[in-house]
Amino acid sequence: MSAPVDGASSERHQRLLRSFKARFGVDASFVARSPGRVNIIGEHIDYCGFSVLPMAVDRDVLIAVAAKSVAADSAHAPTVVLTNIDPEKYHDATFEYTKDSIVDIDATKHAWHNYFKCGYKGILEDIGKVPPHLEIMIDGNVPAGAGLSSSSAFVCASALSVAYACGVTPNKRDLTETAIRAERYSGVQTGGMDQSISIMATPSSALLIDFYPSLNATPVLIPPHTRPYKFVVANSLVTSEKHVTAARNYNLRVLETRLAARLLGAWVSAGSADDSVAVPRAKTLREVLDLFLDSQATGLAAGFNGARVGSRAEFINGLRNLEAVAELVFKDGVYGCDDAVTALQEKYKGEYAAGWVDVEKEFCAGIGGVYLDGGLDLKKRVRHVLSEARRVLEFVEVCGGSGEADVLDSLGSLMNASQKSCSQDFNCSCPELDELTALCLASGAVGSRLTGAGWGGCTVSLVPEELVEDFIAKVVEGYYAKHGHDVKDVGDWIFATIPGSGALIFE
């Protein structure tokens, strides 16, 4: 997990080391790096248990570190002095290690240093060591609130840097699982995709990341025999800070999908009329798919929590059939709180007697807060999750095919269908993202969609390589210049990229 410093990052890396020495008067011992990511396809389905297909980009978080050992008989607790290469925007912070809680994190306050604290707390819980004193300087160029996972890159780099300062080099799988858990201390119920790709990415490949029944990552190459291509990331410049908007957006979707899984799982396992069968308590829509495959006697292996064995095509067919069932099970329009309670009571006799209080206690655990003023649109949320899970598998199937001439067009069509579903069924797009994706298609992209949580942030477009320069020029003129933005900064807003590598230590 370590590498020498070279390539395009060298100049920025050296600037960070110079700034570190100017601030602390000593050289940094090492630099930890973890990249941002762009999700090619598979939005808002990781926390539902389904596979996603992200790739690492060349924008990242760098953490320069100097460690000072703490004497065993010292009366002073280990401290962290946390600085940023941009101190005017990100003010210094200092905190102490405590034996009982490691570090306190106030998830109600949106403080930039909370993300370092998350990685610090998570990794120290796992390795069980008292840390040294740490002097830290951060340099991140992943745009915040752009849907490129700046917060997860920060948490991953933080966990890796603290582990390495403690003399531990965790394997990538363990580090990923730590980072997934640790970021939740910030108050957002993340699913795991962002941390997985930031740590486990391999050069030149996207990763098919599976979360169920356990974490697994498989490199996926877009066929090299197809037309040369680039992924172009374009920032809508609508900022959506997940921490700030979570209660109305991200966390609400987690609640909706959890609640829908419990209801749909009850229906497919016991039928719509038979109340004598014990009803499993599915937690995710991925578990519901297993229940459905069992009920259909598909032969894809048995057992509620077991991994199914079968071809990707069989899973695609199972998802398509379950989509059709869900269209019949859920009513059109939103469910109010009373509607949801009644639906649960019908399937789970004698439970949820306290009404919505019981529902909140069970389904909002770990979410951190939800606003319910708009109701629960369960049918649309399930429609998106199941169809998006199917599109991920179809995307991988196309990549593994025989190389038909229109492979880019096939991949682009799946990305376009994903954007439509994100906008219309999951309602995680926004007018600017809809405008930008339409412009990207008109400018030469074969596929364009929002990436990340949505409600702002970035788009990702699949563009034939020979069109990239002209494509970028058209988007700059048709979106950024049109909306009055100073296009001298456009290199920070739109860039072409190919899949990059994951978390590393530079020594």
Q: Is 7 exposed, middle or buried (0-12, 13-18, 19+ CB in 10 A)?
A: exposed
Q: Distance (Å, rounded) from C-alpha 186 to C-alpha 105? A: 7
Q: How many helices (H) and strands (E) does the chain have?
A: 15, 13
State the Rg of the chain over Cα: 23
Residue 293 and residue 302: Cα distance in Å, rounded?
9
Q: Where are the alpha helices (DSSP H) in 129-249?
A: 150-165, 172-183, 193-200, 242-245
- Dihedral sign, CA of 74, 77, 78, 79? negative
Tokens read off for 135: 């002097």
Closest CA to 416 of 449, 461, 452: 449
Q: CA dist 75 to 71, 129, 162, 166, 256, Å? A: 9, 17, 22, 20, 49
Whole-angstrom distance between the N-terminal and C-terminal Cα of the chain?
11
Supply 46's token pair: 């990781």
Q: Which of 255, 305, 244 is nearest to 47 (CA)?
A: 255
194 classed as catalytic: yes
Structure tokens at 6: 């070279």
Running DSSP on this structure, what letter comes out for residue 119? H
Amino acid making up residue 487:
V
DSSP E strands, 221-341? 229-235
Catalytic pick among 46, 58, 60, 194: 194
| Max intra-chain CA distance, the chain | 73
**Paired tokens of 234:** 């374009």
Helices of type H across 301-450: 312-329, 337-347, 356-363, 378-399, 407-424, 431-442
Give the separation between CA 305 and CA 288, rounded to whole angstroms.
10
Q: For tokens 């008109």, what's the residue?
A: 442
Alpha-carbon gap, residue 83 to 469, rounded angstroms: 37
Which one, of 496, 492, 499, 434, lies nearest residue 471 by Cα?
Answer: 496
User: What is the SS3 string spanning 187-220?
Assistant: CCCCCCHHHHHHHHCCCCCEEEEECCCCCEEEEE
Whole-angstrom distance, CA of residue 268 vs CA of residue 247: 30
Active site residues: 194
